[in-house]
Structure 1
């Protein structure tokens, strides 16, 4: 077999992408250095490091005297402020983005602070987990999840164990040195650690770049040694950047799964629930003398994979044997793909408890492959599978869609929406349907990201929707006619009575029609879908800032006192001292030139034909798009009453339960990089864009 690094049908290779180097983080104080344990110090979370004074290098007396003669020394608070600003502005340090200051409640309160330390450890741990989720992507600005949880652990003894458990539940390393530090921490005796860290780790997601390269002063990291010390491990994924959009191969070090990896999992006693296979990381047949699919089958039959529920498969392609003759290349390739497809499906079938199956960049998903995979799946994801077609998916849903609850179909260039016509019959329990029809090029230097189907949806195809649907997200729908788009939108309006569970509706459609027709088409369907599904939110009560504020509000309303805003309740006056409500007659505003005419004239009656005038114009314009309308655009039909389009809208069922309804209709062509007018400026904008008015008060401002 040939080298297994080639990608799909055209030997895809990508240009090297420059990876941004991490800027070093220099702590401002000893406390910041102490809590910033994300640099790899896993063993010293609760052992305070000794205070170190920052000593300046000794300056010769002559140089110090010469400097002092030219510039007087600053003393007092000004010198400290200057020193603080100069230490915070370092050359090469990134400019931290502006953060919106949180508003602090200043209204009336009973000043009762809940006893947070009395909560059970399980509840506090869940609180810390929820609070730290928003900090996953903020490591570059010094507010990472690790730093925040370590500071929470040092707050008090009651927060120490819950915060540490929240962090060590998934201690994902961020550099090549942290896996070694984590292994050293787990190898320490239990009597020398604050808690038993081995039983706390349940999830581990490691980028292959963190273990493929050798850290400074260390040997190559052994993943099997780490796995042997994790008896409660349930989620283990070795990821790589090419398994996420734009799905281009990136240069990484040579690394494959260790031969004793499965044995190490069995020795630890762990029972995995989530696992990820990457085709390029399995030991190859030519290099190591092992069949990759046999390696997978042996792993799936082990005790560690006995309870596996979620399986992710990335980068499995068809490979051509190197021993075939040129005139037999096409037939040999087809036979080889069928053989590998059979082995691939056989390895998956060894997992009887799998309910969630994901295929990412797998060209072996073709032909009759779906006939061999499990039929009792609850979640199915197919992303960037170029051979996937609507006919293949429909064939699987006829038998395997009865138990399906979530279906995710992203970036599949040969998949259209024809399967939606039978979705209700084949998937009666489907709750989540997500599709992203953005396609990515194989290489960066040219564009081959186009759809491989003729029409996304035919003009006579009408989608059907299961009554259990909760989330519907269709993004970047392209290559279809206005009639087909209208069928999809109309099906949602007609089935609104049955879609009582729908709460999330997002549709982004691209229709290439004249702009005037597109404007009318967009106004009509966006307004109609918002009317049918959008939930009308009510503003929250502004007097619920505290129990005391709400109590004062209820007392004022019961006594008939005027409360114009929550600020009125901040006073400590008795309710009886407040001004009572009085009847005030408000007169309408009058223009100076029309005072006499407005005073003598009768109120202007409403003109009901104005609403009919606009709807008739819309119906007349949409008639060119084969939209069935009735009525003529003349004054007689406008004044007679409602048009047929309005009478139909009055009979439409209004669901009104969706907090999120995002409908977009335009003619843009989806692209990997969207350019705006700012990308085509002749010159840079005037002014200093880096200057900030609050830079002097901030401790994290930088000059560059």
Structure 2
């Protein structure tokens, strides 16, 4: 006989007692050994030896019993998942019935509780899914809703004590209301020509009051959002071409600028009549001054279009301009929309409607790389310069993605330019720009140099002398790869500024915006920053200062470098704001303040004298300097803002930079550094974050839904089942 090594498991009986005899029989067997009882009951029938019963009834009984055992095993597997097994042993025969009743009642209660809990969980999950489906989808990176009543309470604006007199806004003049609506509604569309909420807002303002109708509609139709309204584009164009006869306003005279997407010109109204409708639209707008037909691909990251453009400037448009009395001030030439070269541009510029141009934009005009040195024909640079030379009133010039901008074209540009914008031109260098500024920079007031991969900062050495009227200097040194898979977006110069080069700054500067300065040493960066600090006294009109740089040093040195220069720029250029007096918010607030003070309102001749006297008294008591912050009436009116008086502001007003502390203030005073203190915007950042095509910030990683515990009702749901 074979010996089995498998451990015998005790059998569990699933047979229910059918009569009192079975119950008594089970109770009598309680005194037996548990091991023998379980082993005899849990033995499977298939392991038992088959009895030799040739009769058919016996086989049927065995099959029936096998089916019953299979059913019992299935019920056992299901019951094991739901019920809890109790291993408590009975102490006596009398207590066995009570324990059995308590165990059964406990199991029933547990089963009921689990059933209710599972139903509650299911209903809660279903409700949560329905709520998620019904909740409108929010934009990626949108601001979260307030998670507490405290946050909502903090955002409630402070109550303003007034007399309740509402100004008569409808009585304001037309030109003031127009400025208000234009300022409040800008922009009407985003950079992707998508509509903004300003469009319906202007419509509502036009319907609110009869005095608001004309200024609100003028602000809407000044630059009509034709391509921002896809569904009503056709109706808007037809409305401008032929206004309704019962209209009270002349909409055609409101339009001053047309900004059109050249890639969707065929769908201006319909594919058949789009060209004719464009001609009719330009002819009907009698006060049109600016036309900008652009390509959406001509913006960062400045990639080439895979498909060739089929739309070109139609001759009918220029014929309509010749027949009209329009005198344009701004135009945008795109090389992909031109069927001819720069020589054709010169012929077009000789027309009357182009002779009044003041601003011109040139996009994707490339130099002829196949030209040989022995060719006697005029170069592309010479032809383009001659086309610009026939425009007598041109004072603003913009180049975008033009390889024709190089050392050959720059000396031939007009000398009366006031604004120059060179963007994403790879062939422009400081060697070409520096001589141009010396000869053509006398009247220059705005210089914008963005995304030029070969342009460094060496031209700043002579900037003060070459451009004395310069007011805006902006450079964005972020570069883009030619292809999305390539990585050729690094600067093509060796050093952005040599150590021996010291920049000079024109006295008329109002805005300095320099982003992502890199590829220089710590000594060069120190020289650059010191040049601005030392020129603070010569920059009285500077109001905006933004500098973002990378310094390739150890992280500890970079932290000290950042702390030092951030504090110095804040102390020297940042305007020290004072909290407005809350008692001067309205006449009623001032009367209540004087009543609480118990003083006579006739003591002072004016409110301003009272405030000045109070400020002088407070600042004289708190300041360690002998000079007061504000001049008194006894002082001469011809006194100038000296460095001594301006330095006193460092002691009287706390600094915005919390990291600098009092040490930086004392250092500024000890070094006798001039405190300009008139810039309302001072942004100074030093880090090693490499510029990318898309910079991710905190708003890109915010959850679309609330991340708090708003769904928690105070009861923790505990699942007794295993997770897997």
TM-score bucket (shorter structure): 0.5 to 0.7
Aligned partner of residue 200 in structure 2, secondary structure? helix
Contact 1:337 1:364 in 2 (8 A): no
1:146 maps to 2:202 = no
Higher helix residue share: 2
1:304-319 aligned at under 5 Å gives the runs 304-319=353-368
1:480 maps to 2:480 = no
1:266 maps to 2:322 = yes
Could you tell me which of 262, 267, 279 is aligned with 1:208?
262
Between the two structures, name the one with larger relative contact order (CA 8 Å, sep ≥ 6): 1
Which residue is equivalent to 2:301? 246
1:327-342 aligned at under 5 Å gives the runs 331=372, 339-342=379-382
- Unpaired runs of at least 5, structure 1: 1-81, 284-290, 321-328, 562-641, 695-704
Between 1:115-124 and 1:304-313, the stretch displaced more is: 115-124
Which residue is equivalent to 1:295? 344
C-alpha distance after superposition, 1:386-435 (max 9, x if no partner): 00000100111111001111100000000000000110111111111000
Which residue is equivalent to 2:176? 123
- Alpha-carbon deviation of 1:221? 4.2
1:278 maps to 2:319 = no
C-alpha distance after superposition, 1:639-665 (max 9, x if no partner): xxx99x948843111111111111111
1:182 maps to 2:182 = no
Which residue is equivalent to 2:440? 400
Aligned partner of residue 409 in structure 1, secondary structure? strand
CA distance in 1, matches of 2:541, 2:240: 47
CA distance in 2, matches of 1:392, 1:463: 17
Which residue is equivalent to 2:56? none
CA gap of 1:449–1:514, structure 2 versus 1, over 3 A, is same
CA gap of 1:513–1:338, structure 2 versus 1, over 3 A, is farther
Contact 2:571 2:668 in 1 (8 A): no
Contact 2:450 2:474 in 1 (8 A): yes
- Alpha-carbon deviation of 1:148? 0.5
1:388 maps to 2:428 = yes
- Alpha-carbon deviation of 1:161? 1.4
Contact 1:384 1:413 in 2 (8 A): yes
Contact 1:412 1:437 in 2 (8 A): yes
Could you tell me which of 161, 165, 175 is aligned with 2:214?
161
CA gap of 1:106–1:492, structure 2 versus 1, over 3 A, is closer
Between 1:465-474 and 1:515-524, the stretch displaced more is: 515-524
CA distance in 2, matches of 1:149, 1:678: 29
Which residue is equivalent to 1:670? 691
CA gap of 1:357–1:460, structure 2 versus 1, over 3 A, is same
Between 1:536-545 and 1:509-518, the stretch displaced more is: 536-545
CA RMSD of aligned residues (A): 3.5
Report the TM-score, using the length of structure 2 for normalisation. Answer: 0.64
Contact 2:189 2:195 in 1 (8 A): no
Contact 1:108 1:546 in 2 (8 A): yes
Contact 1:319 1:337 in 2 (8 A): no
CA distance in 2, matches of 1:674, 1:104: 33
CA gap of 1:180–1:691, structure 2 versus 1, over 3 A, is farther
1:569-588 aligned at under 5 Å gives the runs none
Aligned partner of residue 161 in structure 2, secondary structure? coil
CA distance in 1, matches of 2:377, 2:421: 22
CA gap of 1:92–1:518, structure 2 versus 1, over 3 A, is closer
- Unpaired runs of at least 5, structure 2: 1-126, 147-151, 602-662, 712-724
- Alpha-carbon deviation of 1:206? 1.4
C-alpha distance after superposition, 1:671-693 (max 9, x if no partner): 223357999x9xx98x9548997
Which residue is equivalent to 1:235? 290
C-alpha distance after superposition, 1:18-56 (max 9, x if no partner): xxxxxxxxxxxxxxxxxxxxxxxxxxxxxxxxxxxxxxx
- Alpha-carbon deviation of 1:199? 1.0
Report the TM-score, using the length of structure 1 for normalisation. Answer: 0.66
Contact 1:464 1:491 in 2 (8 A): yes
- Alpha-carbon deviation of 1:233? 0.6
- Alpha-carbon deviation of 1:105? 5.7
Between 1:528-537 and 1:92-101, the stretch displaced more is: 92-101
Between 1:358-367 and 1:210-219, the stretch displaced more is: 210-219
